Amino acid sequence: MNHRGFWNKFRQSRGAMIGLCFLVAEALAVYLLPAIFHMDPVSSDVQAGFNAAPSAAHLLGTDGAARDLLARTLCGGRVSLLVGVAAPLISVSIGLPLGLAAGYYRGVVEMVVMRLSDVFMSFPDILLSLILVSVIGPSLGSLIGVIGVMGWTSIARLVYANVLSIREKEYINNALSIGRNDFEILSHEILPGVLSPVFVSLSFLSGNAVLQESGLSFLGAGIRPPQASWGGIIFAAQDLSVLTRMPWIWAPSGILIVLTVVAFQFVGQGLRDTLDPKMTV
């Protein structure tokens, strides 16, 4: 399928287009608006008050440190979108070659890769992520690395399953018979056949990465104040008075997390229907 044919088919999915437009608009907003309007997410406006309600000066109010919540929400979106893009790429960079090797070479390689993935999948993601972040230290880089490492198993198993079916095709045997080496077969014959499901899985991993980052920040193991993150902003809702009486503090970030994850899911479903309607993720 060429690029034009892909786009023509992809845009027929209303949900996918809505999700894509939302993510593009969100990315433009979180990266451009703070710079255009000189928003400062870390400075305090004591005159406006602590946990102040929305006003003309602070459209989403202020938090417990009198910081502008609109600025913090927008800058927190940068963190979530960066994690949502970067962490899945790490997952693919680990899982894709391991899945290719396990499916193609079988034997010892297959056993080692599959058992290693079993070990990773035997622990709850959030628990193992908390342990790794605690050992490495909370920062944006460590969050991206830990979430990326935690996601490699799904990619490896997806690629492994597809390679098992492709390696039995007649054209693979023909390539072997004419003397092509393993690298040529993997890169030219097998890899193109597994990329479509990997691209689809990337969108779902992106939504999951946004959730994991928000969860870790909410639990205090992610982005640390004064740096803004959606999970860190929602952390204030642990106070019952904030949760029940001051929804302007936590509701915008919570809503954006939900909408962002749903948008990634819609894009993933659109990619799945476009690249392979019979594929399940």
Lowest model confidence (mean pLDDT) among 15-24, 91-100, 180-189, 197-206: 180-189
Provide the pLDDT for residue 281: 44
For residues 128, 133, 136, 142, the Cα torsion angle rounded to the nearest 10 degrees is 120
- Is a pLDDT exceeding 90 seen at residue 99? yes
270 CA to centre of own chain:
17
CATH architecture of the domain with residue range 12-33+67-275: Orthogonal Bundle (1.10)
Q: What is the reported pLDDT for 217?
A: 86
pLDDT for the residue numbered 129? 87
- 32 by Cβ neighbours in 10 Å (0-12 / 13-18 / 19+) ranks as exposed
Percent helix, strand, coil in the chain (nearest 5)?
A: 75, 0, 25
pLDDT tens-digit readout, 192-222? 888 888 988 998 999 999 999 998 888 878 8
Residue 101 predicted with pLDDT over 90: yes
Q: Which of 260, 205, 202, 203 is nearest to 229 (CA)?
A: 260
Ranges of each domain in the chain: 12-33+67-275
